[in-house]
Amino acid sequence: MRDEIAYADLIRRTREQSLLASCAELLAWDEDTYMPPSGAEHRAAQLALLAGLQHARATDPRLGDLLAAVEGSPLVADPDSAEAVNVREIRRGFDRQTRLPRGLVEELARSASLAERAWAEARRAADFRRFRPWLEKIVRLKQREAESLALTPDPYDALLDGYEPGARGDDLVGLFDALRRELVPLVNAIVYGRRRPDTAFLRRPYPVQRQRAFGEAVAAAVGFDFRRGRLDTTTHPFFSAVGPGDCRLTTRFAEDNFSDGLFGILHEVGHGLYEQGLPAEDHGTPLGEVSSLALHESQARLWENAVGHSRPFWQYFFPAARAAFPGALVDVALDEFHFAVNAVEPSLIRVGADEVTYNLHIVIRFELERALLGGDLSAADLPAAWDEAYRHHLGVVPRDDAEGCLQDGHWAAGMFGYFPTYTLGNVLAAQLVARARQELGDLDGGFARGDFGELLGWLREKVYREGGRYSARRLIERVTASPPDHQPLIDELRRKYGELYDI
C-alpha cells in the first residue's frame, strides 16, 4: 500500500509538471506565430521563469524519495506495465535534470527565445553576422549543458540523448556513411539520366488562400481532427502539442510554390496524427508521450512522402487540385503532376528537398553541429563550412546566408542533436510502411479512393496507442520483426525512382 501511495503522489507531481510544460509550449507557439516583435524581451522573461519553475519541480528531492519508494516494489515488477514505464522514464528525467543547474536552464530558455527572434531577422536580411553573436552564445550554453550531463566524452552524445535516448554520435556516423554510399550513386544516376520532369507549372500562381483551403481539406481527409487542432503560418514550419485536445500545426505559403505549403502541411499533419493518437488518459505521464523523436519524425515523413508523394494519393486528390487551381493546372495531366512533385534535383533548402537527396542535407547538419559543439568549428566559420559542405555533398552553393546556414531555426532554439532524428525517422517510416503493406494488402487502392483510414487505424493500434511504453528500437522490433534497418528505405527509393526515371 505504501508504494501505491508513493506512486500516486509521483504521478500527481508529474502531471503538474506537464501542465507547466504545456504553458511554455503555448507561449513558444505564440512567439513564432502571432506575437508582435516588441514582445520578444518580455516573452523571453516569461519562458525563462517557466523553465526555472519546471526545473525546480523536476529536481525536487521529494521526487527522488518517491522514486526510491516505488523502484523495486511489486508495483513495477512487469517492465511493460504502465507503472514500470512511468517510473523508469520519470527516473531518467529526474537524473538528467538534477545534473543541470537551474541558472543554466533559465539562461538557455531566455537566450533561445531571443536568439530565435534574431535568427528570423537575420534570415530575412540574409545576413549571418546579425545572428552570429547569438549562435556563439547558444553553443557555449549547450556545451555547458553537455558538460553537466557528461554521458560520454563526446559532448554531442548528451544532447542527442535528449531527443533519441541511447543514441550516440559514433553510431550515427556509421548509418550516415552507409546511406551516403547508397544515395550518391542513385542521385548521380537520376541527375545524369535520360528522363526529366517538367516542374515549371509548380511555379505558376497558386493563390495563398486557396492553398490553405486545399491543404486543410487534405489534412482532414487523411485524418487530422481540426476540432482538436489548428493550422497557422510561420517562418519555419513546426508543430506544438499543447495538450490532448490541442495540437497546433504551422506551415508557410508562397504564391509561386505549390509544393512548399502542401507538403509542409502533410509533414506536420504526420506529427499531429501521432499526437492525436496518443492515449489521452495517460496524458501528463511518460506513458502518454512519445518515447523518441525519431518515431515522431517517422510519422511526419511517412505521411509526407510514402502517402503524400504517391501516385494513388494524387489519383484521388488531383481533380480537387485542378478545381482549386484551374489557371495553374488546366493543361497538366496526372502523370506529369506526379512526376513533377517527385522531381529529384540537388538543392539548397532542406524542407523542400526530394526524398532521394534529403538525407544528405541531414548529413551536412549533423557533421557541422557536432563540430560546433566539439570546438572544431567556430560560429564565425560556419557560413564558409556550410557552403563547402553543400558543394561537396550536393554540388550546389548558396547564393546568400538565407539559402545557406540561416535556413533552419533549430540551432537558434538550442536544438542541437535534433537533426539526425529526421533521417532516423525516414528509416523507421520505410520499415513501418513495408510492414503495413504486408499486413494490410492493397493500401494503394485505398489511397486512390481517398481511404486513408486503414493505414491510420493500423498506425494507431501498432504505434500511437503505445505512447512511451517501449523504446523506439523495441517498438520497431515488435511491429516489424526487425531492428532499425536502413535497407527498406533504400529499396523503396530505388524502386520508386527507378520507375519514374527509367534507370
CA distance 278 to 243: 11
Residue 268 among the catalytic residues: yes
Helix (H) or strand (E) holding 291: none
DSSP string, 205-261: ---HHHHHHHHHHHHHHHT--TTSEEEEE-SS--EEEEETTEEEEEE--BTTBHHHH
Give phi and psi for 221, each to the nearest 5: -65, -35
- What's the distance, CA 201 to chain centroid? 29
Query: For residues 174, 179, 181 and 186, what is the CA-based torsion angle, rounded to 10 degrees?
Result: 180
Residues 6+ away with beta carbon under 8 Å from 205: 255, 256, 327, 328
Report the 10 Å Cβ neighbour count for 337: 23
The catalytic residue among 268, 355, 367, 466 is 268
DSSP string, 133-194: HHHHHHHHHHHHHHHHH-SSSSHHHHHHHHHSTT--HHHHHHHHHHHHHHHHHHHHHHHTSS
- Cell 502517402 belongs to residue: 307
Helix (H) or strand (E) holding 65: helix 61-70
- Cell 508543430 belongs to residue: 239
Catalytic residues: 268
